[in-house]
Amino acid sequence: MKITWRRQTIRSKHPFHVARGGASLEGNETQRVIVRIECGGITGLGEATPSPYYGQSCDSAEATLAEAAPLLGDDPFRVVPVMDRLLDRFGEQTSALAAVDAALHDWVGKRLSVPVWRLLGLNPESTPHTSYTIGLTEPEELPARLADAQEFQSLKLKVGTDRDEETLTVVRKHAPRVGLRVDANGAWSPEEAPGRIEALSRFNLELVEQPIAAGQLEALSEIRRHSPVPIIADEDCVRVADVARLVGVVDGVNVKLAKCGGIREALTTVRVAHRLGLKVMLGCMIETSLGISAAAQLASLADYVDLDGHLLLADDPFAGLKLAAGVVKPSHEPGLGVVERTTDANRIRWISPSE
Ligand SMILES: [Mg+2]
Protein backbone atom coordinates (compact mmCIF):
# COMPACT_ATOMS: atom_id res chain seq x y z
CA MET A 1 0.00 0.00 0.00
CA LYS A 2 1.53 3.31 -1.09
CA ILE A 3 0.48 6.62 0.48
CA THR A 4 1.20 10.04 -1.01
CA TRP A 5 -0.31 13.50 -0.48
CA ARG A 6 -0.40 17.07 -1.73
CA ARG A 7 -1.57 20.50 -0.60
CA GLN A 8 -4.76 21.87 -2.09
CA THR A 9 -5.56 25.59 -1.96
CA ILE A 10 -9.26 26.35 -1.55
CA ARG A 11 -11.12 29.66 -1.67
CA SER A 12 -14.46 30.43 -0.08
CA LYS A 13 -17.07 32.50 -1.94
CA HIS A 14 -17.31 34.90 1.00
CA PRO A 15 -15.09 35.65 4.02
CA PHE A 16 -16.00 33.10 6.71
CA HIS A 17 -15.98 34.19 10.35
CA VAL A 18 -17.25 32.50 13.50
CA ALA A 19 -17.45 33.80 17.08
CA ARG A 20 -14.36 32.03 18.41
CA GLY A 21 -11.01 32.74 16.79
CA GLY A 22 -9.18 30.15 14.75
CA ALA A 23 -11.96 29.01 12.46
CA SER A 24 -12.14 32.11 10.29
CA LEU A 25 -11.10 31.94 6.69
CA GLU A 26 -9.05 35.12 6.48
CA GLY A 27 -8.58 36.45 2.97
CA ASN A 28 -11.05 33.76 1.79
CA GLU A 29 -8.16 31.32 1.14
CA THR A 30 -6.74 28.33 2.98
CA GLN A 31 -5.18 24.90 2.37
CA ARG A 32 -6.20 21.28 2.74
CA VAL A 33 -4.15 18.09 2.40
CA ILE A 34 -5.33 15.57 -0.20
CA VAL A 35 -4.26 11.98 0.56
CA ARG A 36 -3.89 9.21 -2.01
CA ILE A 37 -3.59 5.48 -1.25
CA GLU A 38 -2.60 3.17 -4.11
CA CYS A 39 -2.61 -0.62 -4.14
CA GLY A 40 -2.99 -3.14 -6.97
CA GLY A 41 -3.65 -0.44 -9.56
CA ILE A 42 -6.55 1.12 -7.61
CA THR A 43 -6.37 4.61 -6.07
CA GLY A 44 -8.33 5.84 -3.04
CA LEU A 45 -8.56 9.53 -2.11
CA GLY A 46 -9.25 11.39 1.14
CA GLU A 47 -9.08 14.96 2.42
CA ALA A 48 -7.56 16.32 5.64
CA THR A 49 -9.13 19.52 7.00
CA PRO A 50 -6.80 20.47 9.86
CA SER A 51 -8.36 22.68 12.53
CA PRO A 52 -6.13 25.11 14.47
CA TYR A 53 -8.74 25.01 17.28
CA TYR A 54 -7.91 21.31 17.79
CA GLY A 55 -4.13 21.85 17.51
CA GLN A 56 -3.88 20.80 13.86
CA SER A 57 -2.28 22.35 10.78
CA CYS A 58 -1.35 21.20 7.28
CA ASP A 59 2.21 20.74 8.59
CA SER A 60 1.08 18.53 11.49
CA ALA A 61 -1.20 16.57 9.15
CA GLU A 62 1.68 15.92 6.73
CA ALA A 63 4.02 14.93 9.58
CA THR A 64 1.36 12.49 10.82
CA LEU A 65 0.95 10.97 7.35
CA ALA A 66 4.71 10.45 7.07
CA GLU A 67 4.84 8.73 10.47
CA ALA A 68 1.68 6.72 9.80
CA ALA A 69 2.90 5.36 6.43
CA PRO A 70 4.87 2.37 7.85
CA LEU A 71 1.86 1.38 10.03
CA LEU A 72 -0.61 1.02 7.16
CA GLY A 73 0.33 -2.56 6.25
CA ASP A 74 -0.31 -4.02 2.81
CA ASP A 75 -4.05 -4.76 2.82
CA PRO A 76 -6.44 -1.78 2.39
CA PHE A 77 -9.42 -4.02 3.30
CA ARG A 78 -8.21 -4.02 6.92
CA VAL A 79 -9.68 -0.60 7.63
CA VAL A 80 -10.67 -1.30 11.25
CA PRO A 81 -7.35 -2.59 12.69
CA VAL A 82 -5.39 -0.01 10.68
CA MET A 83 -7.52 2.91 11.90
CA ASP A 84 -7.48 1.62 15.50
CA ARG A 85 -3.69 1.51 15.33
CA LEU A 86 -3.49 5.05 13.94
CA LEU A 87 -6.02 6.48 16.41
CA ASP A 88 -4.07 4.97 19.32
CA ARG A 89 -0.83 6.44 18.07
CA PHE A 90 -1.89 9.84 16.60
CA GLY A 91 -5.16 10.50 18.44
CA GLU A 92 -4.83 14.30 18.31
CA GLN A 93 -4.31 14.45 14.55
CA THR A 94 -7.80 13.30 13.64
CA SER A 95 -8.10 15.29 10.42
CA ALA A 96 -5.09 13.51 8.89
CA LEU A 97 -6.48 10.17 10.11
CA ALA A 98 -9.89 10.99 8.61
CA ALA A 99 -8.16 11.47 5.25
CA VAL A 100 -6.48 8.05 5.51
CA ASP A 101 -9.78 6.44 6.57
CA ALA A 102 -11.61 8.07 3.63
CA ALA A 103 -8.91 6.96 1.16
CA LEU A 104 -9.11 3.38 2.47
CA HIS A 105 -12.91 3.34 2.14
CA ASP A 106 -12.67 4.85 -1.35
CA TRP A 107 -10.17 2.15 -2.30
CA VAL A 108 -12.30 -0.71 -0.93
CA GLY A 109 -15.44 0.62 -2.65
CA LYS A 110 -13.62 0.93 -5.98
CA ARG A 111 -12.06 -2.51 -5.58
CA LEU A 112 -15.51 -4.07 -4.98
CA SER A 113 -17.33 -1.72 -7.40
CA VAL A 114 -19.79 -0.48 -4.76
CA PRO A 115 -20.37 2.97 -3.26
CA VAL A 116 -19.17 3.29 0.34
CA TRP A 117 -22.71 3.85 1.65
CA ARG A 118 -23.67 0.44 0.27
CA LEU A 119 -20.56 -1.12 1.81
CA LEU A 120 -21.76 0.27 5.16
CA GLY A 121 -25.30 -1.04 4.67
CA LEU A 122 -26.92 2.39 4.38
CA ASN A 123 -29.61 3.93 2.16
CA PRO A 124 -28.90 7.49 1.00
CA GLU A 125 -32.50 7.95 -0.18
CA SER A 126 -33.48 8.79 3.40
CA THR A 127 -30.87 11.56 3.80
CA PRO A 128 -32.31 14.67 5.56
CA HIS A 129 -31.85 18.10 3.96
CA THR A 130 -28.67 20.01 4.76
CA SER A 131 -28.51 23.41 6.34
CA TYR A 132 -26.60 26.12 4.48
CA THR A 133 -24.23 28.13 6.66
CA ILE A 134 -23.89 31.90 6.74
CA GLY A 135 -20.82 33.05 8.71
CA LEU A 136 -20.85 36.18 10.89
CA THR A 137 -22.02 38.88 8.50
CA GLU A 138 -23.06 42.51 8.82
CA PRO A 139 -26.87 42.60 8.63
CA GLU A 140 -26.62 44.94 5.60
CA GLU A 141 -24.86 42.19 3.62
CA LEU A 142 -27.40 39.52 4.46
CA PRO A 143 -29.92 39.98 1.62
CA ALA A 144 -27.21 39.13 -0.95
CA ARG A 145 -26.15 36.07 1.07
CA LEU A 146 -29.74 34.92 1.43
CA ALA A 147 -30.22 35.16 -2.32
CA ASP A 148 -27.48 32.48 -2.63
CA ALA A 149 -29.34 30.21 -0.22
CA GLN A 150 -32.84 30.03 -1.67
CA GLU A 151 -32.91 26.33 -2.45
CA PHE A 152 -32.13 25.30 1.14
CA GLN A 153 -34.79 24.27 3.65
CA SER A 154 -32.63 25.26 6.64
CA LEU A 155 -30.00 27.90 7.29
CA LYS A 156 -27.30 27.80 9.93
CA LEU A 157 -26.38 31.24 11.15
CA LYS A 158 -23.20 31.92 13.06
CA VAL A 159 -24.03 34.13 16.06
CA GLY A 160 -22.23 35.57 19.08
CA THR A 161 -22.13 39.33 18.40
CA ASP A 162 -24.29 42.14 19.74
CA ARG A 163 -26.07 42.31 16.37
CA ASP A 164 -27.55 38.78 16.46
CA GLU A 165 -31.16 39.92 16.89
CA GLU A 166 -30.77 42.42 14.05
CA THR A 167 -29.35 39.60 11.88
CA LEU A 168 -32.23 37.25 12.65
CA THR A 169 -34.78 40.01 12.03
CA VAL A 170 -33.36 40.52 8.52
CA VAL A 171 -33.25 36.77 7.86
CA ARG A 172 -36.85 36.22 8.98
CA LYS A 173 -38.00 39.17 6.83
CA HIS A 174 -36.45 37.59 3.72
CA ALA A 175 -37.05 33.91 4.62
CA PRO A 176 -40.05 33.69 6.93
CA ARG A 177 -40.46 29.91 6.68
CA VAL A 178 -36.89 28.60 6.41
CA GLY A 179 -35.59 26.35 9.23
CA LEU A 180 -33.13 28.32 11.36
CA ARG A 181 -30.21 26.87 13.31
CA VAL A 182 -27.83 29.14 15.21
CA ASP A 183 -24.25 28.34 16.21
CA ALA A 184 -22.56 30.49 18.85
CA ASN A 185 -19.27 28.55 18.74
CA GLY A 186 -19.00 29.01 22.52
CA ALA A 187 -19.28 32.82 22.40
CA TRP A 188 -21.64 33.33 25.33
CA SER A 189 -20.81 33.16 29.03
CA PRO A 190 -22.85 30.72 31.15
CA GLU A 191 -24.52 33.74 32.76
CA GLU A 192 -25.62 35.46 29.56
CA ALA A 193 -26.45 32.37 27.46
CA PRO A 194 -30.00 31.74 28.83
CA GLY A 195 -31.03 35.34 28.05
CA ARG A 196 -29.48 35.23 24.57
CA ILE A 197 -31.20 31.94 23.73
CA GLU A 198 -34.52 33.23 25.06
CA ALA A 199 -34.19 36.41 22.96
CA LEU A 200 -33.31 34.51 19.77
CA SER A 201 -35.95 31.81 20.30
CA ARG A 202 -38.69 34.23 19.20
CA PHE A 203 -37.33 33.78 15.66
CA ASN A 204 -38.46 30.14 15.77
CA LEU A 205 -35.20 28.19 15.89
CA GLU A 206 -34.63 24.50 15.14
CA LEU A 207 -31.63 24.34 17.49
CA VAL A 208 -28.77 26.19 19.17
CA GLU A 209 -25.25 24.85 18.75
CA GLN A 210 -22.50 25.16 21.40
CA PRO A 211 -23.79 28.23 23.31
CA ILE A 212 -20.84 28.37 25.75
CA ALA A 213 -17.15 27.49 25.52
CA ALA A 214 -16.33 23.77 25.72
CA GLY A 215 -15.52 22.09 29.03
CA GLN A 216 -18.34 23.49 31.20
CA LEU A 217 -20.81 20.61 31.19
CA GLU A 218 -22.57 21.52 34.43
CA ALA A 219 -23.30 25.01 33.16
CA LEU A 220 -24.32 23.61 29.76
CA SER A 221 -26.75 21.22 31.42
CA GLU A 222 -28.28 24.13 33.36
CA ILE A 223 -28.63 26.20 30.16
CA ARG A 224 -30.35 23.32 28.41
CA ARG A 225 -32.78 22.88 31.32
CA HIS A 226 -34.10 26.41 30.74
CA SER A 227 -33.80 26.50 26.96
CA PRO A 228 -36.96 26.50 24.83
CA VAL A 229 -34.80 25.30 21.91
CA PRO A 230 -32.79 22.01 21.58
CA ILE A 231 -29.08 22.39 22.44
CA ILE A 232 -26.45 20.62 20.32
CA ALA A 233 -22.84 20.15 21.47
CA ASP A 234 -20.13 20.64 18.83
CA GLU A 235 -16.82 21.71 20.41
CA ASP A 236 -17.80 19.65 23.50
CA CYS A 237 -18.17 16.49 21.40
CA VAL A 238 -14.92 15.70 19.64
CA ARG A 239 -14.82 11.91 19.66
CA VAL A 240 -16.84 8.90 20.65
CA ALA A 241 -15.70 8.91 24.30
CA ASP A 242 -17.24 12.39 24.74
CA VAL A 243 -20.74 11.19 23.88
CA ALA A 244 -21.42 9.37 27.18
CA ARG A 245 -20.53 12.49 29.21
CA LEU A 246 -23.09 14.51 27.23
CA VAL A 247 -26.09 12.30 28.02
CA GLY A 248 -28.53 14.41 30.06
CA VAL A 249 -26.43 17.52 29.35
CA VAL A 250 -27.53 18.36 25.78
CA ASP A 251 -30.17 17.22 23.29
CA GLY A 252 -27.74 16.17 20.61
CA VAL A 253 -24.17 16.12 19.31
CA ASN A 254 -22.52 17.40 16.15
CA VAL A 255 -20.38 14.58 14.71
CA LYS A 256 -17.68 15.52 12.19
CA LEU A 257 -15.25 13.16 10.48
CA ALA A 258 -12.38 15.62 10.90
CA LYS A 259 -12.94 15.72 14.69
CA CYS A 260 -13.34 12.00 15.39
CA GLY A 261 -11.00 10.50 12.75
CA GLY A 262 -13.05 9.34 9.77
CA ILE A 263 -16.01 7.33 8.49
CA ARG A 264 -15.53 4.31 10.79
CA GLU A 265 -15.16 6.37 13.95
CA ALA A 266 -18.06 8.66 12.96
CA LEU A 267 -20.29 5.64 12.35
CA THR A 268 -19.49 4.39 15.86
CA THR A 269 -20.07 7.85 17.35
CA VAL A 270 -23.43 8.28 15.59
CA ARG A 271 -24.65 4.88 16.70
CA VAL A 272 -23.50 5.31 20.32
CA ALA A 273 -25.20 8.74 20.46
CA HIS A 274 -28.47 7.32 19.12
CA ARG A 275 -28.39 4.34 21.46
CA LEU A 276 -27.89 6.75 24.39
CA GLY A 277 -30.88 8.84 23.32
CA LEU A 278 -29.07 11.80 21.77
CA LYS A 279 -29.93 13.43 18.45
CA VAL A 280 -27.16 13.55 15.87
CA MET A 281 -26.10 16.35 13.59
CA LEU A 282 -23.59 15.31 10.94
CA GLY A 283 -21.42 18.36 10.36
CA CYS A 284 -18.32 19.39 8.43
CA MET A 285 -15.58 21.94 8.06
CA ILE A 286 -15.08 24.05 4.95
CA GLU A 287 -13.99 21.17 2.72
CA THR A 288 -14.01 20.22 -0.93
CA SER A 289 -16.48 17.70 -2.37
CA LEU A 290 -13.91 15.02 -1.53
CA GLY A 291 -14.11 15.58 2.24
CA ILE A 292 -17.86 16.17 2.20
CA SER A 293 -18.43 12.98 0.17
CA ALA A 294 -16.87 10.91 2.96
CA ALA A 295 -19.38 12.39 5.44
CA ALA A 296 -22.28 12.18 2.97
CA GLN A 297 -21.93 8.38 2.94
CA LEU A 298 -23.29 8.41 6.53
CA ALA A 299 -25.72 11.32 6.28
CA SER A 300 -28.82 9.13 6.04
CA LEU A 301 -28.23 8.20 9.72
CA ALA A 302 -28.33 11.80 10.97
CA ASP A 303 -31.26 13.73 12.44
CA TYR A 304 -29.77 17.02 11.23
CA VAL A 305 -27.39 17.29 8.30
CA ASP A 306 -24.98 20.20 7.96
CA LEU A 307 -22.84 19.18 4.99
CA ASP A 308 -22.44 22.37 3.02
CA GLY A 309 -18.66 22.97 3.19
CA HIS A 310 -18.17 22.38 -0.54
CA LEU A 311 -21.08 24.68 -1.39
CA LEU A 312 -19.28 27.58 0.32
CA LEU A 313 -16.27 27.29 -2.04
CA ALA A 314 -15.62 29.58 -4.99
CA ASP A 315 -14.00 26.76 -7.00
CA ASP A 316 -14.43 23.21 -5.72
CA PRO A 317 -11.54 21.10 -7.11
CA PHE A 318 -13.59 17.87 -6.87
CA ALA A 319 -17.01 16.80 -8.11
CA GLY A 320 -19.35 13.92 -7.37
CA LEU A 321 -21.99 15.03 -4.87
CA LYS A 322 -25.56 15.73 -5.91
CA LEU A 323 -27.66 18.59 -4.56
CA ALA A 324 -31.42 18.37 -5.07
CA ALA A 325 -34.15 20.20 -3.10
CA GLY A 326 -31.58 21.12 -0.46
CA VAL A 327 -30.43 17.50 0.08
CA VAL A 328 -26.74 16.64 -0.45
CA LYS A 329 -26.49 13.05 -1.63
CA PRO A 330 -23.48 10.83 -2.27
CA SER A 331 -22.84 9.46 -5.73
CA HIS A 332 -23.87 5.96 -6.86
CA GLU A 333 -20.39 5.49 -8.33
CA PRO A 334 -17.96 3.08 -6.58
CA GLY A 335 -16.06 4.25 -3.50
CA LEU A 336 -16.65 7.87 -2.55
CA GLY A 337 -17.69 8.55 -6.14
CA VAL A 338 -15.55 11.67 -6.39
CA VAL A 339 -13.54 12.84 -9.40
CA GLU A 340 -10.94 15.55 -9.72
CA ARG A 341 -12.09 18.46 -11.88
CA THR A 342 -8.67 19.29 -13.29
CA THR A 343 -7.98 18.18 -16.82
CA ASP A 344 -4.25 18.32 -16.24
CA ALA A 345 -3.69 15.63 -13.58
CA ASN A 346 -0.10 15.05 -14.78
CA ARG A 347 0.95 18.45 -13.42
CA ILE A 348 0.00 17.52 -9.85
CA ARG A 349 3.02 16.54 -7.76
CA TRP A 350 2.32 14.07 -4.96
CA ILE A 351 4.62 13.98 -1.91
CA SER A 352 5.78 10.58 -0.58
CA PRO A 353 6.67 9.76 3.07
CA SER A 354 10.41 9.71 2.31
CA GLU A 355 10.48 13.37 1.15
MG1 LIG B 1 -20.47 24.33 15.24
Residue 35 CA to ligand 1 centre (angstroms): 25
> What are the two backbone dihedrals, phi and then psi, of residue 85, each rounded to the nearest 5 degrees?
-60, -45
How many angstroms is it from 53 CA to the middle of ligand 1? 12
Q: How far is the CA of 209 from the centre of ligand 1 (A)?
A: 6
Task: Give me ligand 1 centre to Cα 16, in Å.
Answer: 13
Distance from the CA of 232 to the center of ligand 1, in angstroms? Answer: 9
Distance (Å) from CA 163 to ligand 1 centroid: 19
Q: Residue 21: its pLDDT value, please?
A: 55
Fold of 2-114+343-347: Enolase-like; domain 1 (3.30.390)
* Amino acid present at 48: A
Torsion, Cα of 71, 77, 80, 85 (10° steps): 0
What's the 354 CA to ligand 1 centre distance in angstroms? 37
Give residue 68 CA to ligand 1 midpoint distance, Å: 29
Distance 285 CA to ligand 1 centre (A): 9
Q: Distance from the CA of 208 to the center of ligand 1, in angstroms?
A: 9
Q: How is the chain split into domains, by residue range?
A: 2-114+343-347, 119-339
How far away, in angstroms, is 347 Cα from ligand 1 center? Answer: 36
What is the whole-number distance in angstroms between the Cα of residue 134 and the centre of ligand 1?
12
Distance 39 CA to ligand 1 centre (A): 36
User: H helices of 113-163, where?
Assistant: 116-119, 142-148
What does the pLDDT read at residue 24? 58
Rounded distance from Cα 132 to ligand 1 centre (Å): 13
Q: How far is the CA of 274 from the centre of ligand 1 (A)?
A: 19
Beta bridge partners of residue 313, listed in sequence order: 12
Task: Tell me, in angstroms, the distance from the centre of ligand 1 to residue 159's CA.
Answer: 10
Which pLDDT score is estimated for 243? 98
Whole-angstrom distance, CA of residue 256 vs CA of residue 252:
13
Ligand 1 center from residue 211 Cα (angstroms):
10
User: How many angstroms separate the alpha carbon of residue 304 from the centre of ligand 1?
Assistant: 12
* 286 contact partners, CB below 8 Å, separation of at least 6: 10, 12, 16, 25, 30, 49, 309, 312, 313
Long-range contacts of 52-57 (CB under 8 A, 24+ apart): 52/22, 52/23, 53/20, 53/22, 53/23, 53/235, 54/92, 54/94, 54/95, 54/238, 54/259, 55/92, 56/92, 56/93, 56/94, 56/95, 56/96
Q: How far is the centre of ligand 1, averaged over its atoms, from the C-alpha of 235 (Å)?
A: 7
Q: For residue 260, report the distance from its CA to the centre of ligand 1, in Å.
A: 14
Give me ligand 1 centre to Cα 168, in Å. Answer: 18
DSSP E strands: which ranges in the chain? Answer: 2-11, 29-39, 42-48, 131-134, 154-158, 179-183, 207-209, 231-233, 252-255, 279-282, 304-305, 318-319, 322-324, 327-329, 339-340
Q: What is the dihedral of CA 45, 30, 149, 20, to 10 degrees?
A: 120
Angle between helices 79-89 and 94-112 (to 10 degrees): 170
Distance 205 CA to ligand 1 centre (A): 15
Q: How do the pLDDT tens digits run along the chain, 355 residues long?
A: 999 999 999 999 887 787 765 455 656 889 999 999 999 999 999 999 999 999 999 999 999 999 999 999 999 999 999 999 999 999 999 999 999 999 999 999 999 999 999 999 999 999 999 999 999 988 899 999 999 899 999 999 999 999 999 999 999 999 999 999 999 999 999 999 999 999 999 999 999 999 999 999 999 999 999 999 999 999 999 999 999 999 999 999 999 999 999 999 999 999 999 999 999 999 999 999 999 999 999 999 999 999 999 999 999 999 999 999 999 999 999 999 999 997 676 778 899 998 8
Which class does domain 119-339 fall in?
alpha beta
Q: How far is the CA of 350 from the centre of ligand 1 (A)?
A: 32
Give 186 Cα–ligand 1 centroid separation in angstroms.
9
Residue type for position 23 = A
C-alpha 80 to ligand 1 mean position (Å): 28
